[in-house]
Amino acid sequence: MTREPDTAARRRLRADAERNVAAILDAATERILRGGEVNLAALARAAGVSRVTLYTHFPTREALLEAVVERCIAESRLLMADLELHDGTAKEAMARLVRSQWRTLDRYRTLYTFAATSLPPARLRTLHAPLFGQMRKLVARGQDEGVFRTDLPQTWLIATIYGLMHQAAEEVNAGRLSARRAGDTVTATVLSALTAADG
């Protein structure tokens, strides 16, 4: 009997592992968005994998939650890449970016709330770091164009942007702001916070 080449076997195992991880993350995301508790044994059943398989990929509840957040952030980065932020003025590009980021945050509002209460703030910020690079470039361009303020550090301005977006999510969750109006509200607030006195 001819044995399957080791490389083909490894590829098959890797593909199986990727399918299992995707199924686990899908099940976890769906459960969190429905407001359910993240119980690893229940998630294994929902994903159609064994508990051993789940624990192999995600040994703790926190590891699983981090992976769910990372996947949502990766989705957000892909959407960001389609915005053509080099077109138009920095203000116009920033408005497009904030609206796009808000739509993603609104979709995953329950996940954000869950993560914010389950993960340390420093870890949550680290997970969001991949989004900050493009934002930093856009803030810098706006400063070069003379439309964004330069009297405050860029890091503070970026933190303010994401802080306002997350505050909007909390306001929507509390029923004090409608999800329909939140995108325009947070965009206007961000632009106001960034705009130079003579911009």
The stretch 160-174 carries a mean pLDDT of: 91
The pLDDT assigned to 5 comes to 58
This prediction's pTM: 0.78
The model's pLDDT over 53-77, given as tens digits with 9 standing for 90+, comes to 999 999 998 999 999 999 998 888 8
The model's pLDDT over 8-52, given as tens digits with 9 standing for 90+, comes to 777 777 887 889 999 999 999 999 888 877 888 889 999 999 999
Tell how far CA 65 is from the center of its chain: 12
The stretch 144-152 carries a mean pLDDT of: 94
Architecture of domain 1-59: Orthogonal Bundle (1.10)
Architecture of domain 69-194: Orthogonal Bundle (1.10)
The structural domains of the chain, with segments of one domain joined by +, span: 1-59, 69-194
The stretch 96-100 carries a mean pLDDT of: 93
Per DSSP, the residues of 167-183 read HHHHHHHTTSS-HHHHH
- Burial class (CB within 10 angstroms; exposed 0-12, middle 13-18, buried 19+) of 140: middle
